[in-house]
Amino acid sequence: MHTFLRLNLHHPLILLTSLPTMTAFLALPSISLNSSSVSGLRNGKGAPLGIRSLGRSRVSMTASVGSQTLQSDALFADYKPNFAFLFPGQGAQAVGMGREAQSVPAAAELYKKANDILGFDLLDVCFNGPKEKLDSTVISQPAIYVTSLAAVELLRARDGGQQIIDSVDVTCGLSLGEYTALAFAGSFSFEDGLNLVKLRGEAMQEAADAAKSAMVSVIGLDSDKVQQLCDAANQEVDDANKVQIANYLCTGNYAVSGGVKGVEAVEAKAKSFKARMTVRLAVAGAFHTSFMEPAVSRLEAKLAATQIRTPRIPVISNVDAQPHSDPETIKKILARQVTSPVQWETTVKTLLSKGLKKSYELGPGKVIAGIVKRMERSAEIENIAA
């Protein structure tokens, strides 16, 4: 059986990518150790924004070759997580989000900054919708990015909030949420991150408009069975309609993306593979597949023009479920993220296996908390909404 429904808090669909790991440790001459303290979010002029420094000092390793300075991507290779911030992706949006954030000046200020960058009243759409408008890719992505960072400011304003923020030693986010995580970790300013997210949403929408594609969640199967289902569906369609797993969310919930005919074949065959159900996702198109290839060049150009710094804490990539410290590697991964499967299941399993004590979901919805609890019922996670 298959059903059609709007994207909601229980059916996220933003899931990320697989791309070869770009984490070579640079064994080059003239290696120097530099200790630097990287603050949190800052505006384009270098002045502190709302998210302050955690007061941590990181040692980065660089290698000078001629006039170029190359940085190792292995800075966080042996990270040991204790407390994590997890940020939601597209699908977590809901009309009314952001209302609580207006009670905290630093959070409210983020929406004002966003209005200038986006050219429309973001808070009005968050408050009043309509839902169809908020659900659109070009609006939901910046709305979730801003609201999630506003949630950080709400946490900071409460008793003990700054201590919680200071304790966080790893962060990650679902698809779009990776940009939020990088902003929190100081890799780029709030403004630069929002400009990237704005362009990302526009580029993904345009790529979706260029071809007939879709996404569907397959419920009740493990990843091997879903792959077999995709293989069976692909035997019945041409190359333009092939499907693949686009989001490894958690056991029993995987998103498949591809051409419309391929997705229809998945829906038709799912019951014979013992799937509990399929849920067609109300999204613009086949995210995290080659259907998004037209968006890559635009993202590459925008990323090339954006200053990205080594994050002050590990940020786990959706592409390979690894932390990266080299800014150029981070840029490459972000560009390819839209065409690669989201490795969220591996990310969460790795954090838990490494001894994660507690995590916080910051932003609209409780999708991530539900996933974490499904994977480990005893896991401690707290939602910080805005």
Residue with tokens 């999204």: 283
CA of residue 107 relative to chain centroid, distance: 21
User: Can the peptide bond before residue 130 be classed as cis, meaning omega within 30 degrees of 0?
Assistant: yes
Cα 42 to Cα 104: distance, rounded to the nearest angstrom: 18
Catalytic residue among 175, 217, 257, 317: 175
Residue with tokens 């005893």: 378
* CB 230 within 8 Å of CB 161: no
Instruction: Please state whether beta strands 2-5 and 277-281 pair in parallel, antiparallel, or not at all (unpaired).
Output: parallel
Task: Please name the amino acid found at residue 27.
Answer: A
Residues in the chain: 386
Cα 290 to Cα 281: distance, rounded to the nearest angstrom: 18
* CB 76 within 8 Å of CB 61: no
Active site residue 2: no
Active site residue 175: yes
Query: What string of DSSP letters covers 330-373?
Result: HHHHHHHHTTS-B-HHHHHHHHHHTT--EEEEESSSSHHHHHHH
Residue 279 gets which letter from DSSP? E
Q: 274 by DSSP, 3-state: which?
A: coil
Catalytic residue among 288, 317, 325, 359: 288
Cα 176 to Cα 163: distance, rounded to the nearest angstrom: 26
Cα 151 to Cα 92: distance, rounded to the nearest angstrom: 14
CA atoms within 13 A on the CB side of 229: 31
* CB 359 within 8 Å of CB 86: yes
Residue with tokens 């709030």: 190
Active site residues: 175, 288
